[in-house]
Structure 1
Amino acid sequence: MATLNRGMWDRGRSRLIDYAARALSGYDTVVSRLREAAREHESEETRQYLALFEQDNEDLRTQIAEHKRHTAEMVAERAYLVEELEALQGENVDLRHRWDDARRKLALVEPLLWRDHADAMAAFAESPTPDGVESAGDAALFAQAYLSDHLVLPDSACVDLEAIDTAVESKAWGQTSLRGFLALHAYGRALSAGEPGSFWTWCVNSGHPYAWTATSKKLAMAESATVKNTDKLRAKRIFEVDPSVDPSGHLFMEAHLKIAEGGGNLAPRVYFHPSREQGRVHVGYFGPHRNVPNTVA
């Protein structure tokens, strides 16, 4: 029985591949010709050549399929990033309009406020601002230190913030998180003053400069039926809460801020529960999305 000469195979393979590329317009044609030769000559050596070519052919097909899959993923990711960028640009324009509107209103009332409430205005002028927030951890510390009258953010709610703070987007996420806490704090203040409606309604209608963007990409007031009806997913959303809210010390929370849509499983989420009786908003969870998945792994 003939045995395969490996050196001859390598030289022949190189020549055939070159020939295929230049003259036969494809590797498949070479394999087809070898199959014909195998049928004509029925030699063991030819069959061995054919087997090697067919294996190479299969390997190439696998590589091509993998490249196509990778390319499709990159195209989809690019489309998602473009959509996210457009959404952020739109949000930025909206925030600038709100900021300009707030500045105009403040310019009108500031002289009256200084005249009638000088002490309060002086205290406000000396209060810290969020300009120095560099991370999600900073945002949590700021909220705990300065927003606790209408926003409850216990240490137990802050989960894996150090992981978020290692992300490239950590500074942007930290600043957006603080904006979210300021929105929840302002809503808590509104709850203490009357009946502002749901957080979504308040964000849409209040005109408050700290109002959160009420869109499905940034805010959810309820979870999907799948999450609510799947024990494993539902359990991920039962958080510690002050016993004054629920005697058990735990509460299932659905409403949450989406600090970022992109960013993978580290993108932060803020789950919260408004207490109309207390005029406060209780945060049950502030951490990466990976801990509150929407599907069962």
Structure 2
Amino acid sequence: MALFYQAVLRDGGQRLGPRLRRCFAAWAGVDDDGSPRLERSRGRTRITLADTEVCGRYSLDEPTGTGRLRTTATWAAGPRPERSWVQVTVEGDLSATAEPVRAPGFMPAYLATGRATDGAVPVEAGVHVVGPEEVKDLTGRLADRSRAVPIIVLTVDRTDPAVAASCAGHLAEALAGIASVVRLHDAKTQDELNTWLGPDLSVFGGGLRTYLPGVRPGAESYAMRHQPRGGNAIREMGTRALDVVITGVVELSAHRPVPPDIRPTAPRVSRILAGALDPAALHAAPPTPAAIAVPRQPKAPGPAEPPRPPIPEQPGEPAPDPEPPADAAPAGPATAPAAAGSDAPGAAGPAPAAPAADGTGALAADIAERLADHLDDAVLEALVDMARGGDSETTALIKTMSAHLDALTRAVESTGLLGRRGRGDEFERLRREYDRLELDYVELQEHERKAQDRIRWLESRLAEHADPVYGVQAPDGPPEAESLMDVVQRARKQLRRLDLPDTLDTEVSRLDVTYPRQRRRWTGRAWDALRALDAYAAARAEDRFTGGFYDWCSRPLPGEPHIIPTMVSMKESDSVSGNPKFYRARLFRVPAELDPSGRVYMPAHIKLQPVGSPAPRMHFLDDAGGATGKIWIGYLGDHLPNTRTN
């Protein structure tokens, strides 16, 4: 699904969850009973309200023509009140004729309940009218380096003052939560503000200007990045003239980076709401391998194995009565059944199950007790072994445990105690589980990248000095990036042995905008691949390594960046190379010193995602050992056409 709108706010006010839930429920038109999890459906529209004392998530999933749109509001209490946060997103699949996405209707009502900020400056529910005495406060907001939301300033229209007020209200409603809308009270206020802004950044004549974060009066290298909108267009077209402003700010919100403290917390909200994580662990540090391997206390001895029921004799022969054990006591009356699986004296076999109201809990407890008693400790310890590398023996143990759990699951389901799920209920459960697992997967990828980066740094230090460096922080950890465009821009600045032309930006930005949920898993892989290419090119140019990039990934120099060899393919299949259409799709720009035509065939590529759709690829030309000593990146985008995609 594409991400169309994203607001990330700080809210240190009292009762954050109830305030947000009340506004969301009123907007969604659902009668909220305040239960921890409320789900309602109206035709193809689904509303879910779920929360705890420390976090919550509210969503509205509705059809829009041939597509769907999902609005989600997630909140979490911070370690300090001022660090509590709210994230509101609108994502989905829209048809070409659908209405453009604007701020959800509950946002103005929610913002009016407290004093939310973007982490630096207030984000008001409506228009902020500024007079001469408030110019200093406005300039402070504009210059704040920590500001994340745009500030839209509307000036006075002397011919029709009502136009500015009407346009300001329209902007404030459409951009609630992702921009601050300011209307200047009079001409004196406008002159004082322009004196501070300077001629390049001034605004006047009934027009408006969108000031992006990082305003630097007198030092702007490109002042037009703060886009103006003339007063004549606004007077002639009214609010229609604001569509380009609204669209630009909404699209900007979808690319706004999520603050570093929210990124690891957000995936835990899903697990807490699903009951898979204790609420106290919302802000806990991730567990270390040492914590996972803490020795467990010895198990308490379990109950004795119940006697097996007698095996009937062959047909035609009367079955002998079972002999009671020597210390057996008389059985109780039939009207007082024992718990299922009881080991009480006198029970010749499993006692009859109690009625459903009383026996379900007893049966579940007995199943858990028997499972804990019969699972071998080695199976549980194999989980830790697998996390540290694993081998064929531990894999076999895990498969054995999985088979046992599958059999147990089938046995429990066959009793009918769990009830029958409808097709719709099962679909909803699987959808929620998929969303939670996807967030978990991205979080685990980030942890693994950071761990691998530190391991490489430690290996390089050990190789150079043979000194113990355990516990010393690596100087250059893997950078955080919210989009592939961030990765490309950083590579252009930092990786000197790579050439990434501007022609990459079209396909890279298309991946960012079209697949917002997957892009985080690609950013880490793309950065790791670019770093590995840069390190390989430097080693080749300095005669520290011989061989190709695939060889580098198979046996890199100690501590140098690399990726797993399975991500690298140095050629295309014969069906691609021999097809003129597919061949032409892999011709990319290079300097004339490499090829007089300015374009060469680049079959070598890196798989950011091995299979599926989309499956991004990075095509490159290896000239590390040639005239330029560089790696030339020709393409970064979705899978190019081949026999399967065409």
TM-score above 0.5, yes or no: yes
1:82-231 matches, within 5 Å, as: 96=451, 99-100=454-455, 102-106=457-461, 109=464, 130-147=478-495, 149-166=496-513, 167=515, 168-194=517-543, 195-207=545-557, 208-215=559-566, 218-231=567-580
Residue 129 to residue 99, structure 1, CA distance change in 2 (3 Å)? closer
- Per-residue deviation at 1:203? 1.1
| C-alpha contact 1:184 1:281 (8 A) present in aligned 2 | yes
- Per-residue deviation at 1:111? 10
Residue 222 to residue 108, structure 1, CA distance change in 2 (3 Å)? closer
SS in 2 for 1:132: coil
- In the aligned structure 2, how far is the partner of 1:201 from the partner of 1:107? 23
| C-alpha contact 1:159 1:286 (8 A) present in aligned 2 | no
- Per-residue deviation at 1:174? 1.2
- In the aligned structure 1, how far is the partner of 2:508 from the partner of 2:556? 31
Are 1:233 and 2:582 an aligned pair? yes
SS in 2 for 1:181: helix
- In the aligned structure 1, how far is the partner of 2:518 from the partner of 2:479? 17
| C-alpha contact 2:498 2:632 (8 A) present in aligned 1 | yes
Residue 111 to residue 93, structure 1, CA distance change in 2 (3 Å)? closer
Cα shift readout 1:180-223 (whole Å, capped 9, x = no counterpart): 110111111012012520110111112444112101xx111100
| C-alpha contact 1:192 1:279 (8 A) present in aligned 2 | yes
| C-alpha contact 1:159 1:285 (8 A) present in aligned 2 | no
**1:268 aligned to 616, 623, 627, which one?**
616
| C-alpha contact 1:130 1:142 (8 A) present in aligned 2 | no
User: Comparing both chains, which one has the higher relative contact order based on Cα–Cα distances under 8 Å and sequence gaps of 6 or more?
Assistant: 1
Are 1:285 and 2:635 an aligned pair? yes
- In the aligned structure 1, how far is the partner of 2:636 from the partner of 2:452? 28
Residue 188 to residue 294, structure 1, CA distance change in 2 (3 Å)? farther
SS in 1 for 2:565: coil
Residue 49 of structure 1 corresponds to: none
- In the aligned structure 2, how far is the partner of 1:164 from the partner of 1:189? 29
Paired letter, 1:161 = V
Paired letter, 1:219 = V
SS in 2 for 1:160: helix
- In the aligned structure 2, how far is the partner of 1:294 from the partner of 1:134? 32
Residue 197 to residue 94, structure 1, CA distance change in 2 (3 Å)? farther
Paired letter, 1:105 = S
| C-alpha contact 1:188 1:281 (8 A) present in aligned 2 | yes
TM-score (normalised: structure 1): 0.57
Residue 178 to residue 101, structure 1, CA distance change in 2 (3 Å)? closer
Over the residues paired in the alignment, what is the CA RMSD in angstroms?
A: 3.6
- In the aligned structure 1, how far is the partner of 2:551 from the partner of 2:455? 22
Greater mean deviation of Cα atoms: 128-137 or 149-158: 128-137
- In the aligned structure 1, how far is the partner of 2:583 from the partner of 2:644? 11
| C-alpha contact 1:136 1:177 (8 A) present in aligned 2 | yes
Q: Which has the higher strand share?
A: 2
Alignment size in residue pairs? 198
- Per-residue deviation at 1:175? 1.7
- In the aligned structure 1, how far is the partner of 2:551 from the partner of 2:512? 31
| C-alpha contact 2:605 2:619 (8 A) present in aligned 1 | yes
| C-alpha contact 1:273 1:283 (8 A) present in aligned 2 | yes
- In the aligned structure 2, how far is the partner of 1:214 from the partner of 1:172? 18
SS in 2 for 1:189: helix
Paired letter, 1:178 = W
Paired letter, 1:202 = W
Residue 239 of structure 2 corresponds to: none
SS in 1 for 2:479: helix
- In the aligned structure 2, how far is the partner of 1:175 from the partner of 1:161? 14
- Per-residue deviation at 1:164? 1.2
| C-alpha contact 1:274 1:280 (8 A) present in aligned 2 | yes
Moved over 2 A (4+): 92-102, 107-112, 291-297
Paired letter, 1:102 = W
Residue 54 of structure 1 corresponds to: none
Paired letter, 2:621 = H
5+ unaligned residues in a row in structure 2: which ranges? 1-429, 468-473
- In the aligned structure 2, how far is the partner of 1:244 from the partner of 1:214? 30
Work out the percentage of aligned pairs sharing the same amino acid: 25
Paired letter, 2:512 = D
Paired letter, 2:636 = F
| C-alpha contact 1:135 1:170 (8 A) present in aligned 2 | yes
